[in-house]
Amino acid sequence: MSMKSLTEYSRALVRRYLCKGRNRPCGSRGFTLLELLVVMGILAMMAVIAVPIYLNYFSRSQIQTAKIQVEQLGTILDMYRLDVGAYPSTADGLEALMTQPPGVDRWAGPYLKKRESLTDPWGRPYEYRAPGDHGNYDLWSNGNDGVEGGEDDNADVMSW
């Protein structure tokens, strides 16, 4: 078979499989604009449903994390009291768990490995008062909004 006849034969095959006036094979379809818009609409509806659920779950996990951290800090404060004989004063604050306060001889710290442990999940330092209004000490976070009080996602997390 010569090169010329091979070229003509291949062109005939291509013409045979292409639809008239189109550069694609017959029977194969691309997506229409309408089909693409329908798929995008379905994805948008799924996002509208899924995003609030995710944000609610994320918010609840931050509150749970704060509760766990307050409980752990309470345990660490108890260890401090066992070593020193008293809880850190309000003036010394939670910083006494990281660095030895002046005038404290039996300090056996640091009681925390990371300074980030002194901040709540929203990036603000935990509040501390000793002696507390509700016990030997009060330890709390003002929640998501950073303001005392609040409900739901903005509720305070307290040690009492």
CA angle 15-20-25, nearest 5°? 60
Amino acid at site 81 = R
Are residues 111 and 92 in contact, defined by beta-carbon separation less than 8 angstroms?
no
**Average confidence (pLDDT) over 29-38:** 85
Q: Hey, where are the domains in the chain? A: 64-160
Distance of CA 96 to the CA centre of its chain: 29
Are residues 97 and 111 in contact, defined by beta-carbon separation less than 8 angstroms?
yes
Taking the C-alpha atoms of residue 36 and residue 99, their distance in angstroms, rounded to an integer, is 61
Q: Quickly state the pLDDT bin for 14 (edges 50, 70, 90).
A: low
What's the pTM?
0.64
pLDDT at residue 72 is higher than 80: yes
The architecture of the domain spanning 64-160 is 2-Layer Sandwich (3.30)
pLDDT at 129: 93
